[in-house]
Structure 1
Amino acid sequence: MDDEEDALLELTELLEGEGFCCYTATSVKLALLQLTRHPDIALVITDLRMPEESGIELIKRLREHTSRQHLPVIVISGHADMDDVSDLLRLQVLDLFRKPIYHVRLLDTLDNLFPKL
């Protein structure tokens, strides 16, 4: 999830090129809709700062939802501060990436999360 459509498209192209199936959203509301439509989603990657609701709000909602509370979440941000990091640690996010995303590190993280058989 990212409100910057160019960043969303770039990340989607990278991940689909590596064989991942991606569903995109530009807001928390749309992300929750995608999660409802596609219960097989195995990971959420979200921007931290959004115009209406933040990525932290999305993660809080996921953690409150019984069937989604353990869903791995990766957060991306160009503006995370120590308060954000503290919130993210409490919400048990998998990783935090600064923008621009270092693609090799992201792919390494995903390879560890989803080992190829």
Structure 2
Amino acid sequence: MPLKTVLIIDDDNRNIFALKAVLKAKGFDCLSATSAQEGFTLIENKEKVDIVLMDMMMPDMDGYQAISAMKKSGHMQNIPVLAVTAQAMVGDRERCLSAGASGYVSKPINVDELLMQIEKFTS
């Protein structure tokens, strides 16, 4: 079975580094971008991204705006997006899902929860 490709979009390289280490150890192919625009460019240039892990709090274009842009794009609208956020207040999960995210994982990330969500949306 081919590797599943995960695109991590996060403005903090430490988060990207940690997520990549975990996901590569679990057999995923990982791409990363430090902005939504950079992530969109990667998607345009790569034939297959199976899922996007989207940081919701970024400068320039935040995760809510980025998910909205993806849902409007013919090329990106069917790629599942997991909202990854430090915002774990009541209502944040619902806000992410209503913005178009397929799933939601709060920071600090529970690896088992993350893997379960990735499996759920890419199988």
Q: TM-score, normalised by structure 2?
A: 0.82
Pick from 2, 8, 12: which aligns with 2:16?
8
Asked which structure has the greater RCO (Cα within 8 Å, sep 6+), the reply is 2
Going by fraction, where is strand more abundant, 1 or 2? 2
SS in structure 1 opposite 2:84? Answer: strand
1:12-27 alignment runs, 5 A limit: 12-27=20-35
Q: Cα 1:80–1:60, aligned 2, differ >3 Å: closer, same or farther?
A: farther
Supply the AA of the counterpart residue of 2:98.
R
Supply the AA of the counterpart residue of 1:65.
S
**Structure 1 segments unaligned to the other structure (5+ residues):** none
Pick from 63, 69, 76: which aligns with 2:71?
63
Percent identity between the two aligned chains: 23
Q: Which 10-residue stretch deviates more, 77-86 or 6-15?
A: 77-86
Q: Cα 1:105–1:80, aligned 2, differ >3 Å: closer, same or farther?
A: closer
Query: How many correspondences in the alignment?
Result: 115
Going by fraction, where is helix more abundant, 1 or 2? 1
C-alpha RMSD of matched pairs (Å) = 1.8
**Structure 2 segments unaligned to the other structure (5+ residues):** 1-8
- Is this contact kept in 1: 2:71–2:100, CA < 8 A? no
